[in-house]
Amino acid sequence: MLFHEPLFALVLFPAFYALYLAINHRQRAKKWALILASVAFYTWGEPLFVPVVFVSAAIDYAISLRLAAGGKLARRPLLTFGILVNLGILVFYKYADFLIGNFNVLTAPLGTALPLLHIALPIGVSFVVFEKITYLVDCYRGTTKPARTFSDYCLFVFLFPKLLAGPILKYHEMETQIADPAAVAWLDCKEGFLRFARGMAKKLLIADVVGNFANAAFGANATGLGAAQAWLGLVCFTLQIYFDFSAYSDMAIGLARMLGFRLKENFMMPYAARSLTEFWRRWHISLTSWIREYLYVPLGGNRYGEWRTYLNLWICFLASGVWHGASWNFVLWGAYNGLFLTLDRMFLVRLLDRAGSIVSVAATLLIVMIGWVIFRTNSIGELTAYLIALVPLGRPGAFLEMTPDVPLTVLIGSILSLLPATPLFPKLIGAYEKNIILRRLAEYGLVALFVIASARAIAVPFKPFIYFRF
């Protein structure tokens, strides 16, 4: 079940929300209502994975209690065991066939081959596992105490707004909200709904529209693509992945706000970044902060000299690439980002600063877009062919059908993405904050967009969120 499905947005969630508001001041009842609703929400799409999450959550919780009580010698093996259990779940479901396939390639001269398992990837497994590891590490470090009850921990794991594609939460950041859920106020309802409406509009009116052409361009034989259509396909995917993924985060943050929870932001106008380092501070913030806190810092961060820092950056972004999927293209994408982050530290940030905002934003966006080619293609052969197609060599290229709404949507998406990089943006924000009429018009506009997006959700074929692959 997805947030933008009419059944959820127009029927099931309003029905649940009416019940939730009816028990608004009964904390225990609200927590159990959320747990049951969250489990039902996940069971709708992943019934076979729910028992796995429950069993592993029980193991986590038991380990966390021992981590809080045990001595130093006993705690480290317990933490290691807990992390390995969670990573084992991730490896089994996400990487088993990838590892078997590569093993078969290596052992092909010997005439041996292991059968592929063809395991279905549970939606959101990477997000669930990272949050569960976070909980164990924080209990080990003393950053947080174990959840007061197993039901509190289950609410943290299963909380349905963020369950399928984040933001990735840290238990210590949510501990008070989960243990003592605040009563929902009218402002929570209003602001949460408007944020949800924004996400609906971004997903259905921008991401899905440009995504149709992006899928056509990347699904075609790139050797027959002309440069213009290859670039348009790349621009469409660049807009699609941002508006699709940030739409999910908007919906998650909005739904959580309506329920009385405050989730941290996951995107902060990333295409306005003036370096790749800044881009990764603005893009999928919960993942990059997770990698920094739970991988980069334990590896030594920048405490042991420049070359060790470069190595740590590469390791972290190789891990980020592997986290995104079982494919060598994702590994290459991680290495690509690690390379430019290293170049940033060496000289590139200073060079871009001297070049001015227009050049630095354009150069950063070009680096990011080439990275998206690596990310979007499925093999090294496809990647090479698409990169060649981007070079204008005068070939006519095959004709790809394009609906009339694609050019307009590309224009709107580009303006929304790049406007924050212009001097006009702070002035617009200032005028919006000072003028109540503008704020009311924006609110009414979001309501209208929600109605239009809901109508489109009913009328057009279903398209899942991109990050459900991960």
Q: Which residues are catalytic?
A: 324
Smallest Cα–Cα separation from 141: which of 78, 59, 68, 58?
A: 68
Cα–Cα–Cα angle for 66, 67, 72, nearest 5°? 115
- How many Å is the maximal CA-CA distance in the chain? 74
Q: How far apart are CA 268 and CA 242, in angstroms?
A: 11
Single-letter code of the amino acid located at 330:
F
Cα–Cα–Cα angle for 53, 59, 64, nearest 5°? 120
Which ranges in 46-146 belong to alpha helices (H)? 50-69, 72-90, 96-107, 125-141
3-state helix, strand, coil in the chain (%, to 5): 75, 0, 25
CB atoms within 10 A of CB 23: 13
b/e code 258-277 from CB counts within 10 Å (16+ = b): bbbbebeebbebbbbbbbbb
Single-letter code of the amino acid located at 213:
F
Q: How far apart are CA 90 and CA 98, in angstroms?
A: 12
CB atoms within 10 A of CB 53: 23
Identify the sign of the CA torsion 148, 151, 157, 158: negative
Determine the 3-state secondary structure of 31 from DSSP.
helix
Write out the DSSP string of 318-344. HHHHHHH-SSHHHHHHHHHHHHHHHHI
Residue 70's alpha-carbon distances to 62, 77, 84, 110, 438, in angstroms, are: 12, 11, 19, 49, 57
Query: Contact, 443 vs 197, CB < 8 A?
Result: no
Q: How far apart are CA 87 and CA 225, in angstroms?
A: 41
